[in-house]
């Protein structure tokens, strides 16, 4: 099991306020809950990560990264395939405009190349030179990045949280507010209000978002759109494709091609 304390050793015990550190993780590896004094931008040049922190879960597919603020407890799962993890460590307060919460962002072509270049720099690079300018440009690109809604908010209500976790483990099960309400010994209207208050989403929207994000790792592993759709409770591949395109801006088949192109 990877030791989460190894990451601060490399990314935080340096005088430089911004550093980039990389590590390659095996398929299905798990980094247990931990936190860092510095903020992190977690990006995978290959593979998919699942990040869990207080308030929800975030899916980080290729072409994306997740910002984790300083001191935020989180764990990381490598979803189904090896992950080439690249982490930007940022000293707290360096860019106050950056998010105070976890946020998935789109990684531009420029940001990706800057991270690749920064991987070759020493952690204690000379101040005032090219390396420092590269790190400042990385921060500029993070600030300008497009936020993406790849987040599943989780409730704090204990019984509802347990029921949501059951659904995450079996996303193909039928979605029915009445069935959930009976299992929680609630009236359906009571559950509907609780869901909205606890997650900020209505019941149907939460289930759709959860299914979509859980489908991403399986999709990028190369499974057919039909198999992914059926495994996550969609009635047809076209229904899954329509929701996927609405969220990702492209059909799942095009997303798969993009992923395999990056991996190559």
Domain 155-263 has CATH 3.40.50.150: no
Q: Is the pTM of this model over 0.95?
A: no
Q: Do domains 6-148 and 155-263 have the same CATH topology?
A: no
Domain locations along the chain: 6-148, 155-263
255 contacts: CB under 8 Å, gap ≥ 6: 219, 220, 244, 248
**Whole-number pLDDT of residue 10:** 60
Q: Which residue has the tokens 């990006």?
A: 43
User: Counting Cβ atoms within 10 Å, is residue 20 exposed (0-12), middle (13-18) or buried (19+)?
Assistant: buried
Integer CA distances (angstroms), 237 to 52, 94, 249, in order: 28, 45, 17
**Whole-number pLDDT of residue 80:** 66
Domain 6-148 has CATH 2.60.120.280: yes
**Whole-number pLDDT of residue 114:** 97
- Per-residue tens of pLDDT for the chain, all 264 residues: 445 444 545 667 788 999 999 999 998 899 999 999 999 999 988 888 888 888 788 888 778 899 999 999 999 988 767 889 999 999 999 999 999 999 999 999 999 999 999 999 999 999 999 999 999 999 999 999 999 878 888 888 999 988 998 888 888 998 999 999 999 999 999 999 999 999 999 999 999 888 988 888 788 778 899 999 999 998 889 999 998 888 878 899 887 776 655 443
**Whole-number pLDDT of residue 1:** 45
From CA 159, how far away is CA 81, in angstroms rounded?
32
Give just the sign of the alpha carbon dihedral 202, 203, 204, 209.
positive
**Whole-number pLDDT of residue 142:** 97
């Amino acid at each position: 099991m990877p030791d989460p304390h190894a990451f601060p050793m490399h990314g935080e015990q340096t005088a430089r306020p911004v550093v980039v550190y990389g590590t390659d993780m095996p398929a299905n590896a798990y980094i247990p809950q931990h936190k860092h004094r510095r903020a992190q931008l977690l990006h995978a040049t290959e593979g998919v990560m699942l990040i869990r922190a207080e308030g929800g879960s975030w899916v980080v597919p290729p072409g994306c990264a997740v910002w984790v603020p300083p001191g935020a407890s989180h764990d990381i799962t490598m979803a189904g395939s090896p992950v080439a993890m690249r982490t930007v460590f940022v000293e707290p307060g360096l860019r106050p405009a950056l998010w105070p919460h976890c946020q998935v962002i789109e990684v531009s072509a420029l940001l990706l190349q800057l991270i690749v270049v920064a991987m070759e720099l020493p952690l204690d690079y000379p101040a005032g030179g090219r390396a420092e300018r590269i790190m400042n440009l990385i921060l500029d690109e993070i600030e300008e990045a497009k936020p993406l809604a790849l987040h599943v908010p989780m409730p704090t209500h204990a019984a509802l949280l347990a029921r949501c976790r059951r659904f995450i483990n079996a996303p193909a099960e039928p979605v029915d507010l009445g069935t959930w309400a009976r299992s929680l010994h609630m009236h359906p209207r009571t559950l509907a209000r609780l869901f909205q208050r606890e997650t900020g989403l209505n019941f149907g929207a939460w289930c759709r978002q959860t299914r979509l994000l859980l489908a991403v790792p399986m999709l990028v592993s190369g499974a057919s759109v039909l198999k992914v759709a059926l495994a996550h409770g969609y009635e047809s591949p076209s229904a899954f494709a329509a929701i996927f395109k609405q969220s990702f801006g492209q059909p799942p088949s095009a997303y798969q091609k993009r992923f395999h192109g990056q991996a190559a």
